[in-house]
A = this chain, B = another copy of it.
């Protein structure tokens, strides 16, 4: 493809993306293709002769788009949102067109310098302490792919530091602390590193937040058994229910346990810190006072296209001490002199994509004001939804709504006047039936979860095009499906009893 062919195909791509967004609301949210659907549309192997690009571009529309789940659809309420802004798309387009893996400063100076600056912008936007800024010279921030990568890096840095400070610690004795509500990133870090993971218990009474007393008890237990807990992954906004661990209580415990690294995983909820009214609730003050590392994914609720996981550390040396390898072919004058950041020593791999450009485009185009207004709007929409649940005679909130996430379930006042109240197992089964009905639809997408044995459903607001009408539509639809689920349930009871 030559430059002019690219211009033509590029214009067409832009036009088709516009068409996609104009038509998005009328598409099904969830692709309902069957496993293996694509095989029939693909050749068995790479064609011998090159094909005309127009055919390829058309095949994308014909065969790929119908197999996509549309995360940008205004009725996508599953998992957490994945940000996609036009500014982010354009930045990625420019970055891809230059295609330079800026793994150290000299391999493309702008990549490193822009990353160092926008990470400081992001830290300030969230209200992080100046100690986390690259400008501080001691702490610093860098872009990673995902919160899993960020957490893994924090665990590696913490383990490396612990082992330097505690010679002869056996790997088998090291323990990563999470809670039962921590994202799978905790368990995965353990699997990758071959280290034990202890998931501390949390309760519904505490709204699934880790308490200091639970942490202290675990530390005491493990000390007796010669175990060496070296990191706690605490969460601000868990995936299942948006729980916020009790950071102030954790801080008090950690004061007596300075070798315990505390990593804050605020993958989803971190963006809410941009609004001062959310900071106390998310314990920003305490995080700033003592957390060793902090992560949030701007690609979730932060308007920057996937991937843009931001990781800050209080002491950058803890990263580079753990991750620096410099073979001769990577030595550079500026790197050796220490006058520049070489971000390759701040992450797992060597090559890095130029992700800071999309942060820069989004931050400048929205401004702090626009960013906060988007966050506030989604929280407001979730509030509307939670109010609807509160007023419903069929649905109940399982936990208090958390920022832009509501966890609810079907819990009819009574199934029918003639029936006794449902026991917990029956309620779970009824809710499975309810969720089964919802997930069979293609005009809305939500996800299930289980909270300490309670089967429930999550609704996460955040797709940029979601407005009040989609919340209303979701409420109506859930109401209808709730009625139908109860009817089906009653019918099954009648059939069973016959």
Query: A191 on the interface (CB 8 Å rule)?
Result: yes
| Alpha-carbon gap, A361 to B192, bound state (A) | 33
Binds B, one of A48-56, A275-283, A474-482, A488-496: A48-56
Given A46-B125, A192-B348, A449-B329, the answer on whether A89 and B100 have CB atoms closer than 8 Å is no
- With A109-B31, A187-B325 known as contacts, the answer to whether A194 contacts B50 (CB < 8 A) is no
Q: Which residues of B contact A36 (CB under 8 A)?
A: 113
A364 interface hit (Cβ, 8 Å):
yes
Q: Mark A344-379, 1 if CB is under 8 A from B, else 0.
A: 000011110100010011011111111100000000
Contact B93–A194 (Cβ < 8 Å): no
Known contacts A13-B14, A184-B350; 11 further A-B pairs (Cβ under 8 A): A7-B14, A10-B93, A31-B109, A35-B340, A46-B125, A56-B361, A60-B357, A188-B325, A192-B193, A193-B193, A348-B348
Contact with B along A127-167 (1 / 0, CB 8 A): 00000000000000000011111001000100110010000
Contact A194 B191 (CB under 8 A): no
Among A64, A79, A193, A330, which residue has the most Cβ atoms of chain B within 10 A?
A: A64
Q: List 18 A-B contacts (CB under 8 A).
A: A5-B86, A9-B86, A31-B110, A48-B368, A50-B366, A63-B110, A67-B113, A68-B111, A82-B100, A96-B305, A152-B348, A156-B192, A170-B171, A239-B327, A240-B327, A307-B351, A329-B447, A329-B458
Q: State the 7 A-B residue pairs at the shortest beta-carbon distance, nearest first.
A: A67-B110, A10-B14, A84-B99, A171-B171, A50-B367, A148-B349, A38-B113
B351 and A194 within 8 A (CB): no
- Spot the interface stretch: A16-24, A242-250, A257-265, A287-295: A16-24
Q: How distant is the Cα of A187 from the Cα of B328 in the complex, in angstroms? A: 14
CB of A106 within 8 Å of the partner chain:
yes
Q: Which residue, of A5, A110, A187, A306, has the highest number of chain B Cβ atoms within 10 A? A: A110
Q: Which residues of A contact B (CB under 8 A)?
A: 1, 3-7, 9-11, 13-18, 20-22, 30-31, 33, 35-39, 42-43, 45-51, 53, 55-57, 60, 63-72, 79, 82-90, 92-94, 96-101, 105-111, 113-114, 117, 120-122, 124-125, 145-149, 152, 156, 159-160, 163, 170-172, 183-185, 187-188, 191-194, 239-240, 299, 305-307, 322-323, 325-331, 334, 339-340, 348-351, 353, 357, 360-361, 363-371, 447-450, 458
